[in-house]
Amino acid sequence: MSEKVLKVWAEIKEGVFNSAKVYLLKNYCEDILAAYRLKINYVVSQYLRHLPSHVAQLEKDDLKEIAQLEFIESLKLWNVEKYESPWPFAHEKIKGAMKDYIRYITKSNPASFYDWVTEASYLYLVIRKDEGFEDKVEKGVQLSNAMKVLSERDRNIVIAHIKDDLSFKEIAKIYKLSESQISRIMKAAVEKLKKALQTVSQL
């Protein structure tokens, strides 16, 4: 291909790609959604697993709709040259949109969302391993008491990971520790909380 042709292509390719995306979304939007529906639904179902059961039930349909809308929006922004497939980019956009939605509704109207949410309640989602255990724990008070077994630093690290959704890498930078150290702190903290909650539930 001549240098002249390459130069012309470099000038028009973005417009060509954008026109193609607009055409496909306008005429084949439902077909595109159908092709990716299983993947989209899987991402939603995985995210729902990290929410309190009644919250997941309440927000499930809205999150599915948000995921589909965000998928379509991600196609409009899809860099064809950078990503051969639209899915890696769309996947991250969908997860981000769902997290933003949950954060928004908890901040805008927390009472109607779930009135028992405390920092400890988020930890409950992590340490609960069997369904029967939920019935043994009076959510807020006992969880808050159980949190007292942790040092202030460990408590803040666990909350940062579970509630604030920070990665081990991000937390490690804040506390000037390695990722492996943060991981060990998390595991040890969860074990302490399990034991504390089991003790309280037997009283």
CATH of the domain at 39: 1.10.1740.10
- Whichever domain contains 191, its CATH number is 1.10.10
Residues 92 and 35 both lie in one domain: yes
Average pLDDT of the residues in 174-200: 82
pLDDT at residue 137 tops 90: no
- 127 vs 94, residue with greater confidence: 94
Kindly report, residue by residue over 28-52, the tens digit of the pLDDT: 788 888 999 999 999 999 998 877 6
Q: What is the pLDDT of residue 101?
A: 83
Residues 19 and 63 both lie in one domain: yes
Q: What is the pLDDT of residue 191?
A: 81
Residues 98 and 188 both lie in one domain: no
Residues 37 and 109 both lie in one domain: yes
Residues 173 and 132 both lie in one domain: yes
CA dist 38 and 168 (Å) reads: 29
Average pLDDT, the chain: 74
Residues 150 and 96 both lie in one domain: no
Q: What is the pLDDT of residue 90?
A: 92
- Structure token pair of residue 11: 């000038």
Residues 124 and 90 both lie in one domain: no
Greatest mean pLDDT among 2-16, 81-95, 157-171 lies in: 81-95
For the chain, the domain total comes to 2
- Neighbouring residues of 17: CB distance < 8 A, sequence distance ≥ 6: 80
- 185 vs 193, residue with greater confidence: 185
CA dist 184 and 187 (Å) reads: 5
Residues 99 and 145 both lie in one domain: no
CA dist 90 and 97 (Å) reads: 10
Tell me the residue range of the domain where 12 lies.
3-113
pLDDT at residue 203 tops 80: no
Residue type, 152: E
How many residues are there in the chain? 203
Residues 62 and 83 both lie in one domain: yes
Residues 102 and 162 both lie in one domain: no
The neighbour count for residue 46, using CB atoms within 10 Å, is 10
The dihedral formed by the CA atoms of 175, 178, 180 and 183, expressed in degrees to the nearest 10: 10
Residues 190 and 135 both lie in one domain: yes
